[in-house]
């Protein structure tokens, strides 16, 4: 039996209303299912754990990237597949996995029943499924939180980006990989399993969540006036042409910097330096299109 977990506060549409659109399809297909609603922040994880313990054949989340990550942390290494009905504002992981944006089409992906193992990542032992990094993106996430009370959606995000451009400072990072040790002054570094972050910015256009490697995108320090140009290129994944951008794949990477350095991993702010990031091959089973 499928267990659906609905996050009612994700996205702009309202995921409970989104799920109502799926009920006729489930009824027509005679699919046995149960549905539970997360009623508080952090409520998805215990619901996912209960689904695993109850022997669910799959856990399907209706929500955004935060909802997906919270469920994925519980489902990792259990063999219980994760289904995604995109209901957030960004849905970055769903886009990487080729899951349709339309809820009905995404449901049919789950109902077809094909699943495969995908990679995940860890940062100092903490799980992430999409992207971890530090620098400019951390500043944006922090500023989005500041504006949340007065501005929502694209307006809040845009204001946060502008403030971040004005406030950003280069961060000196020491890198260690299997290839050696080097240092850089960076605008940002993204260590990616998926391709997108920030609601559709293709920061790691070559990332493959099935290849057993992390994709590392380093954007070295640039003048502030270049940042809007860079962000525009990020959307299409065309920033790798810039001479101040470095990109490589690795199974692990260690980062060290100022003691106050924190990371953005799947939208959460935390972590500490020195940080060790590693790929977790095949850690999570997901419902995807076959082929």
Rg from Cα positions in the chain = 19
State both tokens at 197: 């972050």
Rounded Cα–Cα distance for residues 2 and 50 (Å): 12
Please count the helices (runs of H) and the strands (runs of E) in the chain.
8, 15
Per-residue pLDDT reduced to its tens digit, 191-232: 999 999 888 889 999 999 999 999 999 999 999 999 999 988
Low-confidence ranges of the chain (pLDDT < 50): none
Instruction: Indicate the DSSP class of residue 225.
Output: G
Structural domains of the chain, ranges and CATH numbers in brackets? 2-113 (3.40.50.10330), 126-281 (2.60.200.40)
Burial 24-43 (b: 16+ CB within 10 A, else e): eebeeeeeebebbebeeeeb
SS (H, E, C) 112-123: HCCEEEEEEEEE
Predicted pLDDT of residue 47? 97
pLDDT of residue 13: 56
pLDDT in tens, 35-52: 999 987 789 999 999 999
The tokens for 138 are: 């951390």
């Amino acid at each position: 039996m499928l267990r659906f977990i609905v996050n009612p506060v994700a996205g702009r549409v309202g995921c409970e209303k989104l799920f109502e659109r799926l009920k006729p399809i489930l009824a027509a297909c005679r699919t046995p299912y149960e549905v539970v609603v997360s009623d508080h922040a952090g409520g998805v994880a215990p619901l996912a754990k209960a689904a695993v313990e109850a022997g669910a054949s799959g856990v399907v989340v209706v929500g955004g990237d935060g909802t997906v990550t919270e469920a994925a942390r519980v489902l990792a290494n259990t063999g219980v597949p994760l289904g995604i009905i995109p209901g957030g504002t960004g849905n970055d992981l769903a886009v990487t996995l080729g899951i349709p944006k339309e809820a009905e089409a995404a449901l049919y992906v789950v109902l077809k029943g094909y699943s495969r193992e995908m990679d995940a990542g860890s940062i100092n032992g903490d799980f992430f499924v999409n992207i971890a990094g530090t620098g400019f993106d951390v500043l944006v996430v922090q500023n989005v939180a500041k504006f949340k009370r007065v501005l929502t959606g694209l307006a809040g995000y845009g204001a946060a980006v502008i403030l971040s451009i004005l406030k950003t400072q280069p961060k000196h990072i020491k890198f260690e990989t299997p290839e050696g040790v080097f240092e850089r002054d960076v605008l940002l570094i993204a260590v990616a399993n998926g391709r997108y972050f920030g609601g559709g910015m293709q920061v790691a256009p070559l990332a493959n969540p099935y290849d057993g490697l992390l994709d590392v995108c380093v954007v070295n320090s640039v003048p502030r006036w270049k940042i809007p140009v860079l962000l525009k290129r990020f959307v299409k994944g065309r920033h790798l042409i810039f001479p101040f951008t470095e990109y490589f794949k690795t199974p692990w990477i260690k980062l060290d910097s100022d003691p106050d350095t924190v990371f953005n991993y799947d939208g959460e702010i935390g972590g500490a330096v020195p940080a060790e990031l590693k790929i977790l091959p095949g850690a999570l089973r997901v419902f995807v299109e076959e082929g």
